[in-house]
Amino acid sequence: MISAAERLRRLESLFLKEDRLLIVINADPDAMASAMALKRLLWRKIAGTTIAHVNRISRPDNLAMIRLLRLDLRPLKEVDRGAFTRFAILDSQPEHHEAFEGIDFHVVIDHHPEGAVNAAFVDIRPQYGATSTMMTQYLRAARIKPSARLATGLFYGIKVDTSNFERRAVIEDVNAFQFLFRYVNVYMARKIEQAEITLDFLKFYRRALDAVRVRKRRIRVHLGPVPNPDVCVTIADFFMKIHDIAWVIISGIVQGRLVIIVRNDGLGKHAGKLLARAFGHLGTAGGHKAMARAEIPVDNLKELVQVKDDTAVLRWIARCMRG
């Protein structure tokens, strides 16, 4: 097995003082924190590092992370690739996103299952819970004491990707987490973690609270037009906090699709199977036992329900789910 020090040596050997590095990510907490760490590792060793993202960033915790950790991210589309001599991809692999195509990556560091990767430096460890864990090991090998912001980012990256250690994690994740904890700003970490909604969500909460009816420990609300599916997701999660609610079904219309979000306590019927059976023939539908989603193009509903009539939609969904 190759040591952390040896990995670091091999990674550093790829860079010259005049190199300009472009780090490309599909931005989420783990990817953003990993990019911060690589930038820090190469700080003062190369001429400069820019971090570019390929996705639209809208999740409130991601936005809070960018603001509080003072991350400087650019959309990849707006970056002049000709200005860079080295390219790295973190927490992803070149085949994972079409926007990565056509870039000749020198560095690939990731924890997803290994695909066909061709680069001068490849470090893929699928058993790891987070790329942030791998990057923490690089920092430690380089004897870098992380700043509070960097430590907080990596700490949150590990928390998110392991679902607070409820999911796929190895002892290395636990060790990195424990190491980072010494340097974390707990107030910053808490604020990032708390950030679940944006201000414009509040009117949908009001709409949901006005419409809510509880029947047989179930809550069903159709929100009508909403800006994105996350609105339905956060409202569904919110109602699941009520101690004796067993099922929550929240739907909304998002850009020509009827989105149905289901949450339950995991003690009864399988939500994913139920949705697949009820709506699979009309669009995409499925998920896990306690969380599931269906998305149906409104065009497919023309003969079935009047989508502008919120009450009719609500009744139609309930009827389909009864089977």
Tell whether residue 123 is a contact of Mn ion (CB under 5 A): no
Of 130 and 275, CB closest to Mn ion: 130
Q: Which stretch binds Mn ion (CB under 5 A): 10-18, 23-31, 38-46, 272-280?
A: 23-31
Tell whether residue 173 is a contact of Mn ion (CB under 5 A): no
Contact by Cβ (8 Å): 226, 254: yes
CA angle, 27 then 59 then 175, to 5°: 60
Interface mask toward Mn ion for 45-84; x: CB under 5 A: ----------------------------------------
Residue 298 DSSP symbol: G
Residues 300, 73: Cα–Cα separation, whole Å? 39
- At 131, is the secondary structure helix, strand, or coil? helix
CB of 112 to Mn ion, least distance (A): 7
Query: Taking Cα atoms as reference points, which of 39, 238, 53 lies closest to residue 138?
Result: 39
Helix%, strand%, coil% for the chain, nearest 5: 45, 20, 35
Of 189 and 314, CB closest to Mn ion: 189
Helix H segments across 55-185? 60-68, 131-141, 148-161, 171-181
Of these, 123, 161, 173, 230, which contacts Mn ion (CB under 5 A)? Answer: 161
Tell whether residue 230 is a contact of Mn ion (CB under 5 A): no
List b or e across 145-174, with b for residues whose CB sees 16 or more CB atoms inside 10 angstroms. Answer: ebeebbbbbbbbbbbbbbeeeeeebbebbe
Give the nearest residue (CB) to Mn ion.
30
CA angle, 12 then 52 then 163, to 5°: 85
CB of 10 to Mn ion, least distance (A): 22
Q: Which stretch binds Mn ion (CB under 5 A): 131-139, 143-151, 206-214, 245-253?
A: 131-139
Tell whether residue 91 is a contact of Mn ion (CB under 5 A): yes
Tell whether residue 110 is a contact of Mn ion (CB under 5 A): no
CB of 160 to Mn ion, least distance (A): 8
Interface mask toward Mn ion for 259-278; x: CB under 5 A: --------------------
Site size with Mn ion, rule: CB under 5 A: 4
Residue 114 DSSP symbol: P
Residues making contact with Mn ion (CB under 5 A):
30, 91, 131, 161
